Amino acid sequence: MQKKFFLLIFIFFILSCKKEKYFLDFIFLWKENCFKKFYNISHLGMEKNDDSVWANSGEISSLKFKQNQKISIELKLGKDPFFSFYPLTNISEGDFVIYKVLIYEKDKLKKDFKFKLNYKIPPAPQRILVNLKQFSEKNIKMVLSGSCEKDKDKDIVLGSPFIIHKLKKIIKNFNDKNFILISIDTLRADALGIYGRNSSITPNIDYFSKKSDLWLNCYSTSNKTNPSFCSILSGLYLKHHGIYTLVDPLPKNILTLPEIFKDYCYETIAVVSAFHLHSGANLCRRFSKYKVSEKIFSTEEAVFEAINYLKNTKDKFFLWLHIFDPHTPHTAPEPFFSGYYATKKFDYFPFNYFNKSRKEGHLNYVDKYLLANPEMYYDEVSYMDFSLGFLFNFLESNGYYNNSIIAFISDHGENLNEHGNIADHGGLWETTTHIPLILKIPKKENHQIYKHLVQSIDLFPTILRLFNFKSYQNDGVDLYPEYTFEKRKFVFAEALEDNEIMVRNKNYLFKINKKDGFINTFLFDSISDPKEILNISEDKEILKKNFIGVLNLFLKDKIKYVHNSNLSVEEIKKLKSLGYLY
């Protein structure tokens, strides 16, 4: 009798292991139903009258149709479905727009949702959430329509319309590890809760980091996007890969991670929000597949492009997801634009965990050219974190957490009313070079927080070792000192503007720049003067000479490259509109 009992328990255990579970899934209406992908910049950002400048909060996939038109979509829903979209019809002052969502079963109308709204663009209004739980695991026909009370010629626009639900499917199993590189443009380390911000506005990144290894003192090799990413993907300092601007292509003889992964039969894909990483550095063409913004992707556009790729992949892969926010312009959608922040990580709809972290309301832009405000920088950080919640939840529920090494990093930081800059990453400072670095390794249980100095280029040799790939020449040091038996004593960075170069140890920042024919030296005590205000270069002559010696050794093998930009006049115009002179 006892044997039968244990046999039944064993059979039940085996059946339970094979039982299908529910996993998060998305239906992107603009993709699944062959709608034209529509970008309308003016709906998400503040367009300027001056044609020489350009600014917006990011391109986004949208549905656009006439007021007398009905969009009919037949769907098989999973469990607990929700339909969500941004109301982006650009209505006039005093007008109202009505969005209708009709749900049919077997040609019978079962539910009629109506949303009568009066809003102003910019910013993008808050998402509309339609609860479809009563239609869980049913076949439906969804009919979308809309109308304006006054202006009958306006087009109806639904921004980023998607259905999120849960499907029964067996979790994906990969024989090989995958690699996901998530990079955030212009993200200061101290903007994240896990790096000490109080109170935290990044619950999703904080949650991700708790199951990962964290480096508290990671520094970029540059304060510009293209040079920094050339370093991350090649493991080389600027002095060796030669890229100092946003317009020069990385030389073909420089080996990068996507090419190495290709050699090991990985599919490589880049989803890149900043156009100049493609048209300038030419990094995206090194991947098997790539999706690049015509100008700048909004965060969720990039996130959903990445999720759509993961939904359809069957091969082992290296995915690079680059997100542009929180770079200027600071035009996050509501409720973030009004100073609201997510207080809990995204798990599943409805999302209703928002709180005020600053004075509520729309702030004025301090820098109207860049649409910048230091407080609104954090609005964008919060929006970026919330959008990443979709990705993290998808990765976790679909098994990628258990099969992928995931790296989270930034290219550089940002000055926010520091060093004479309202919202700009000029100069090699703590504010512009100190970046987050988080690495999640599958099945690693003892997650660690490291305090020693590291650089963004150190990711390169670390990834090669973790994947058991052949080692290639690079300037990096393995992030884990237990594998290299050494730690960095110094970190370095270079910048083209003012011909600036920086060296930093755990106690001091020293940098030199050449401006207007003069050579200027700067020395700051990072312990007693963390904001780097008091230049003690003239008072510490011996220390200054020692640092100059270190920099001379660093620059001894610098290689000179001559590049020719292949950017068009229009692309250069777009770069200038973002505050770049390259």
Tell how far CA 574 is from the center of its chain: 20
- The closest of 88, 106, 105 to 97, measured between CA atoms, is 88
Instruction: Tell me the angle at which helices 225-234 and 459-466 cross, rounded to the nearest 10 degrees.
Output: 30
pLDDT at position 567 is: 60
Cβ atoms of residues 269 and 288 within 8 Å? yes
- The closest of 318, 240, 250, 313 to 280, measured between CA atoms, is 250
pLDDT at position 536 is: 96
Tell me the C-alpha distance between 161 and 444, whole Å: 37
Cβ atoms of residues 320 and 230 within 8 Å? no
Q: What is the pLDDT along the chain (582 residues), one digit of tens a residue?
A: 555 555 555 544 444 444 458 899 999 987 655 444 433 334 333 344 433 333 445 788 888 889 989 999 999 999 999 999 999 888 888 899 999 999 999 999 999 999 999 987 777 889 999 999 999 999 999 999 999 999 999 889 898 899 999 998 766 666 679 999 999 999 999 999 999 888 899 999 999 999 999 999 999 999 999 999 999 999 999 999 999 988 888 999 999 999 999 999 999 999 999 888 887 788 989 999 999 988 788 999 999 999 999 998 888 999 999 999 999 888 888 999 999 999 999 988 777 689 988 887 888 888 877 888 999 999 999 999 999 999 999 999 998 988 999 999 999 999 999 998 888 898 999 999 999 999 999 988 889 999 999 999 999 999 999 999 999 999 999 999 988 878 899 999 999 866 899 999 999 999 999 877 788 999 999 999 999 999 999 999 999 999 999 999 999 999 877 666 666 666 656 655 555 554
pLDDT at position 570 is: 63
pLDDT at position 413 is: 97
> DSSP letters along 305-341, please?
HHHHHHHH--S-EEEEEEE-TTSSS--PPTTGGGTEE
Q: Helix H segments across 109-184? A: none
Per the structure block, which two tokens stand in for 260? 């190495």
Cβ atoms of residues 109 and 102 within 8 Å? yes
Q: Which residue has the tokens 């409805």?
A: 350
Residues 6+ apart with CB under 8 A from 55: 45, 46, 47, 48, 328, 329, 331, 370, 371, 577, 578
Tell me the C-alpha distance between 85 and 276, whole Å: 29
Identify the H or E element spanning 271: strand 267-272
Cβ atoms of residues 142 and 88 within 8 Å? no
- Write phi, then psi, for 353 (nearest 5 degrees): -105, 70
- The closest of 299, 51, 318 to 186, measured between CA atoms, is 299
Identify the H or E element spanning 483: helix 481-484
pLDDT at position 247 is: 82
Tell me the C-alpha distance between 521 and 499, whole Å: 12
Q: Helix H segments across 225-286? A: 225-234, 238-241, 257-263, 276-279
Can you give the pTM of this predicted structure?
Answer: 0.91
Rg of the chain over all Cα atoms, to the nearest angstrom = 25
Per the structure block, which two tokens stand in for 468? 């058991």
- The closest of 46, 51, 59 to 368, measured between CA atoms, is 46
- The closest of 36, 121, 29, 19 to 75, measured between CA atoms, is 29
SS3 298: coil
Q: Letter for the amino acid at 285?
A: R
pLDDT at position 36 is: 43
Cβ atoms of residues 231 and 470 within 8 Å? no
Per the structure block, which two tokens stand in for 184? 């955030």
Whether omega for the bond prior to residue 251 falls within 30 degrees of 0, making it cis, is no
Q: Letter for the amino acid at 132?
A: L
Strand partners, 291: 271
Within a 10 A sphere around the Cβ of 134, how many other Cβ atoms? 10
Where residue 517 falls (left for φ over 0; alpha for ψ -120 to 50; beta otherwise) is left
SS3 117: strand
Q: How far lies 410's CA from each of 190, 322, 545, in Å?
A: 12, 9, 32
Whether omega for the bond prior to residue 258 falls within 30 degrees of 0, making it cis, is no
Whether omega for the bond prior to residue 442 falls within 30 degrees of 0, making it cis, is no
Within a 10 A sphere around the Cβ of 110, how many other Cβ atoms? 14
Tell me the C-alpha distance between 433 and 50, whole Å: 33
Tell me the C-alpha distance between 99 and 101, whole Å: 7
Detail the DSSP E strand segments found in 441-547. 449-450, 454-455, 491-495, 500-504, 508-515, 518-525
Tell me the C-alpha distance between 24 and 448, whole Å: 29
SS3 487: coil
Q: Which residue has the tokens 């986004």?
A: 60
- Could you report how far apart the first and last alpha carbons of the chain are, in Å? 80
Identify the H or E element spanning 236: none
- The closest of 226, 391, 296 to 58, measured between CA atoms, is 296
CB neighbour class for 90 (10 Å; exposed up to 12, middle 13-18, buried from 19):
middle
